């Protein structure tokens, strides 16, 4: 009879671990997850920007610390927010509207750590 309780206790223990908030993604005040944002950045941005967003890339500028409005305008519309003066006068970056749902995560990644850059 003692062995019959082990599977029940094991299942109860596993189910209790499912509700643990420690396994939840880290989010910022912007509501984004910097870890997911890093993955998005590495898959969608490093062809032109440096793998370290605080450094200049082969084509794109350093973008660490870019404001959410700039990230949204550049990624979704390949434009700049009203009144923004770009660091580079190029129009190479294409719009990437498929990243719309990933913008909070991308912004969270680019704005963690306090280093400032530009877009």
pTM exceeds cut of 0.85? no
Across the chain, where does the E strand assignment appear?
none
CATH architecture of 29-110: Orthogonal Bundle (1.10)
Tens of pLDDT, residues 77-117: 999 999 999 988 888 999 999 999 999 999 999 999 544 44
Which residue is listed with tokens 């189910």?
15
Give the pLDDT confidence score for residue 22 in this predicted structure. 43
CA distance 1 to 14: 21
Higher pLDDT, 17 or 56: 56
Query: Per-residue pLDDT tens for 42-87?
Result: 999 999 999 999 999 999 999 999 999 999 999 999 999 999 999 8
């Amino acid at each position: 009879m003692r062995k019959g309780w082990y599977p029940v206790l094991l299942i109860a223990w596993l189910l209790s671990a499912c509700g643990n908030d420690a396994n939840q993604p880290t989010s910022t005040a912007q509501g984004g997850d910097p870890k997911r944002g890093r993955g998005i950045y590495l898959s969608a941005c490093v062809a032109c920007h440096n793998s370290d967003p605080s450094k200049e890339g082969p084509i794109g500028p350093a973008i660490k610390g870019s404001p959410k409005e700039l990230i949204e305008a550049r990624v979704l519309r390949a434009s700049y927010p009203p009144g923004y003066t770009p660091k580079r006068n190029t129009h190479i970056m294409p719009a990437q509207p498929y990243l719309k749902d990933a913008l909070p995560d991308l912004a969270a990644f680019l704005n963690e750590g306090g280093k400032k850059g530009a877009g």
